Amino acid sequence: MRIDQVVFKGTKDGLLVVIPQNQDIERVKKDLDQKLSRPHRFFVGGKAVLDLGDRWVGDGILAELSEIIEHHGLKLIKVVGPFGVKMKEEVEPSTQELAQERQEDRVAAGPLEGAGILRRTVRSGQRVHAPGNLVILGDVNPGAEVLAGGDIIVVGALRGLAHAGLPSNDQAVVVALRLSPTQLRIANVIARSPDGRSRGPNIPEIARIREGTIVIESFFAAGR
């Protein structure tokens, strides 16, 4: 059975374009273009709102999705995503910015380079994924999931599920002011169950792979 990649919903603001959370972005773009190309397009000339949910995409991808929507006669007025709300003028990077982003995509990012920054708490039931490094300026609550292709840095308490280094980057690390995850993974390694250690408030810790096992230590003692 075919699973739709994109969902359209009518709202008072116009056509709501809902992007799925876990599908390949190239398939999403193709499906969006195909659906908007169908005959009897009642929405032509109307307004559109792009809803990314908790999916993190770079400015380049955001601009491509915007271009597809407007190519088919819709006026994109805003984008809703893990970053909050962006109005249309914030979605159109310059040609130079797009070229720079595409160049960065071809180069392996160093620490924090090209990181996705999320300025809010991730709540239970929410899932955030970044293709590179992910920085969260807030807490990750129990029942929430944060995933990244690179490092995960939480400027707050990490109490949900964290998976860094997707799918096989064993050099990735997880850092938090308070590291108490329900589950912790780096690449294909899963951490042991919590050991019941008593931690002081706001003592930054770092988790990394050593000799095939995830170890957690003081961020300062680790020399990073």
The one-letter code for the residue type at 142 is P
Return the domain boundaries, the chain.
7-105, 116-218
The one-letter code for the residue type at 197 is R
Higher pLDDT, 202 or 103: 202
CATH class of 116-218: mainly beta
pLDDT, mean of residues 30-41: 80
Residue-level pLDDT at 1: 39
Rounded Cα distance between 182 and 161, Å, is 6
Query: CB-based burial of residue 40 (10 Å sphere; 0-12 exposed, 13-18 middle, 19+ buried)?
Result: exposed
Of 3.30.750.24, 3.40.50.720, 3.30.750.50, 2.60.40.10, which CATH number belongs to 7-105? 3.30.750.50
Residue-level pLDDT at 95: 42
pLDDT, mean of residues 6-26: 84
Q: Is the pLDDT of residue 83 over 70?
A: no
Rounded (10°) angle between helices 95-105 and 59-71: 120
Confidence of residue 102 (pLDDT cuts 50, 70, 90): very low
